[in-house]
Each structure stands twice: as C-alpha cells, then as structure tokens.
Amino acid sequence: MFKINDNYLKLPGSYLFSTIAKKVNAYSEANPDKNIIRLGIGDVTQPLAPAIIDSLHKAVDEMGHAETFHGYAPDLGYEFLRNAIAKNDYQDRGADIKADEIFVSDGAKCDSGNIQEIFAQDNKIAVCDPVYPVYVDTNVMAGRAGTYDKATETWSDVIYMPCTAENNFAPDFPSEVPDIIYLCFPNNPTGSTITKDQLQGWVDYANKNGCVIIYDAAYEAYISEDNVAHTIYECEGARECAIELHSFSKNAGFTGTRLGFTIVPKQLVDSNGTMLNSLWARRHGTKFNGAPYIIQRAGEAVYSEAGKAQTKEQIAYYMKNAKVIKEGLKEAGYSVSGGVNAPYIWLKTPDNMSSWDFFDYLLEKANVLGTPGSGFGPSGEGYFRLTAFGSYENTLAALERIKKM
C-alpha cells in the first residue's frame, strides 16, 4: 500500500490566506448588502502599465507566425530578460551579478518554497517572527521543522528571531547558529527595513558561521530611504553566502501574470565545494519548463525607459495609499509602523484584543478586511496588517470607516 508524506499532516489548519478567504466568504453570504473594502491580501489593483501591455500584444502576435513562434523557454529564462535584470537590478547598483546566475521563474512564492529542496533535511532554519508563512510551511512539508507546539504556535526545530517593537521589528542575531537564515526586507508583514550597514552585519555573520541567507527582496522597489539596500549583493561577501528572491508582482503588477527570478551566485558553495548554482540549475531544469515567452517579453518591458517611468508611478500611487493609512490610523489613536519603505502597515490591536478578534471586529464594524498578525507567527499576536494595494478611493473610505468605530 502506498504511503503519504505525513509531514503534511503536521501543518496546523489551512494556509493563512485560505482561512481568511473562507471567513470572508461566510460573512459575505450572511451579509450580502455589506460592501467590504479589502486591505488584506497583498494583491495589486492597478492595471499593467501601457509599456507592458504593448510588449504583451507584440509577443502574442509573434506567437501567431511560424517564423517568430517560440516553444519551450530556455531553462534559465530568455537571455534578453536575464541581461536586462543583470544590468538594471544589479550592475547599475554596483552589484556583480551575471546573467548566468539568474534563474527566471513564475514568481517568488514558488522559488521561496522550492529553494529548500537543494539543502539537506537536517539543516536548521532561522526565520523572522512574524514571517511570511511559506518559508516555514514548506520546511514543514520537507520534514525539517520538527514537531508543532499548539500552545506556543512554534516548531521544535525552527529558530525564531522575534521582531517586536522593542527591536524596531528587525531581528537580532540568533543565540543558536542556524544553517539557513530567511530574511525579507522591506519586510512582509511588518513593513520594516534595516540599513545597509545592518544587512552587512548579517552577511558577515553568515560567512563567519557557514550559514546561507535566503533573501527575499520582493518589495525592494518600494524603498524610499537612501541607507536601505535594494539588493543584498550591495554588501561585501554576499556572493559567498546569499541567495536572493525577486518578484515582478509588486513592482510591476504581475500578481496575475506571474514572473519572478532567483539569484544564485557561482561563488556560493558548500563545505565540499559544491556550487549551489549547479544544484538549483539541476532542480530548475528538471521541475520547471520556463515562464512563457510572452510573459518574459512583458518582464523585459519593465526595464524599458517607458516601463520604468510607468511602474514608478504605480508604486508612488500605492505608497500614497500607505501614507493615508498610516497617518489615518495615527489620528485614530493606533500605534503603527511600516508604510515608509513598504506597502504594508503594521498596527497594534487596541485594548489588548487578539489579532483574530480584531479581524472579526474590523470586518463587522467597518466592513474592512485586513490580515491578523498572529497568522504570521507568535510574535505577530496582538498586531494586524493592512496593505496599500487597494484603490485610493477605497483606502480613503476604509480609513473613514475605521475612524468611526
């Protein structure tokens, strides 16, 4: 008789955003007259920029003619896109990343979950707390997280690095040395950042202790402060210890179009000299058939002069929303952070309410949807995340409703 991977049975409940969707659907069915404003899931609302649409149309037309038709994409992605990424996201920022160190995918979520496959099962992971759930859940599925403690909502073999108001929602170095460190800056869910000097400290720590950093840079386009690094490869020594994950979802609105990439430098090797670049190339080529040609052409358009200008406008639009949310919540008496270098606002729940109690309260009293902080980890309890990805009009309306509660 076949056997299942029983690590899946260790996962508590369903994925966070699936749970939220079920609760909201139930509320909507019971209250069909209520107009819910959604500031929960980090899904963009602005349409794709004109330069991207033009490129999509052109690529679609190419697929209709034998002489310009494209079938399977190259394993790493088309060279035209990888060259554009290498130049604009790295080399122009002084980071020495080459096209053959870039692996194009259908988004950072898949890569952030799949990257753990190239590491041994007995590696110990460290995560920020609160944390994007995918990092932990996929390590649970792989059998790397140990056992779950319902009382503390933690896994026995995971090292948690609390990110609280006391440390400005930025992790301290863990007391126990991990093998794999997950970092995300600007951070999801807290919206916090660390300076380039602080990031250099993590690179130095990883190199000193033989760790690898999985660095999620999905929100780098929202950075507004000069002392915050846009890529970990701005730091000396990062090529020897870091893998970087990137997405087109938040900087260019590709949540429904799906495109991302992962950087694995060739200097990154294990104690036996095995290149992680080669391992990821083997995994990538075996399990992934490439992002579609038309989507990769759309990605290339993001780096055109028109594409840069248009996506910059969209980012400014969302950050205007972030300012509305942050200032409005402060006026209403809430303690808030984030919203400066990230499209997320992290607020303290009032009157010692639990995160899920505040979720229900906000939904019922204001018909506004957000995300409970406890869904991101134990240190998220008592906090709540709102996103700036709604329309400006809905964002204003949501804050007016919250102020009246």
Q: What is the pLDDT of residues 240-254, one digit of tens each?
A: 999 999 999 999 999
Query: Tell me, what's the pLDDT at 70?
Result: 98
Instruction: Tell me the pLDDT band of 111, cut-offs 50, 70 and 90.
Output: very high
Q: Provide, rounded to the nearest whole percent, the portion of the chain with pLDDT above 70.
A: 100
In order of their start, the domains of the chain are 6-47+307-403 (3.90.1150.10), 53-304 (3.40.640.10)
Contact predicate 195/203, CB 8 Å:
no
Return the pLDDT at 17. Answer: 78
Model confidence over 153-212: pLDDT tens digits? 999 999 999 999 999 999 999 999 999 999 999 999 999 999 999 999 999 999 999 999
Residue with tokens 């319902």: 150
**Mutual orientation of helices 16-30 and 355-366 as an angle, nearest 10°?**
30
Tell me the percentage of the chain whose pLDDT exceeds 90. 95
Q: What is the pLDDT of residues 56-69, one digit of tens each?
A: 999 999 999 999 99
H-helix or E-strand spanning residue 182: strand 180-184
CA-CA-CA-CA torsion for 138, 144, 150, 153, nearest 10 degrees?
Answer: -70
pLDDT, tens digit, for every residue of 355-382? 999 999 999 999 999 999 999 999 999 9
User: Chain-wide mean pLDDT for the chain?
Assistant: 96
What are the tens digits of pLDDT across the range 18-42?
Answer: 888 888 899 999 999 999 999 988 8
pTM above 0.85, yes or no: yes
Q: How far apart are alpha carbons 16 and 20 in whole angstroms? A: 6
Residues 6+ positions from 223 with CB-CB distance below 8 Å: 186, 193, 230, 341
Q: What is the spatial distance between Cα 328 and Cα 343, in angstroms, rounded to a whole number? A: 15
The alpha carbons of the chain give a radius of gyration, in whole angstroms, of 21
How high is the pLDDT of residue 178? 98
pLDDT tens for 303-341 read 999 999 999 999 999 999 999 999 999 999 999 999 999
**Predicted pLDDT at 41:** 84
The Cβ of residue 78 has, within 10 Å, a number of other Cβ atoms equal to 19
How many other C-beta atoms are found inside a 10 Å radius of the C-beta of residue 173?
12
Q: CA quadruple 356, 360, 366, 368: dihedral positive or negative?
A: positive
Cβ contact 345:322 at 8 Å: yes
Q: List the Cα angle 334/153/144 in 5-degree steps.
A: 130
Sign, CA dihedral 181-185-187-191, equals positive
Q: Which residues neighbour 397 within 8 Å (Cβ) at sequence distance 6 or greater?
A: 37
Q: Is the pLDDT of residue 141 over 90?
A: yes
80/73 Cα distance (integer angstroms): 12
Q: What is the pLDDT of residue 12?
A: 86
Distance CA 113, CA 141 (A): 10
CA atoms within 13 A on the CB side of 39: 34
DSSP letters, 336-364, are EEE-SSSSEEEEEPGGG--HHHHHHHHHH
Alpha-carbon distance of 20 to 300, in angstroms, equals 34
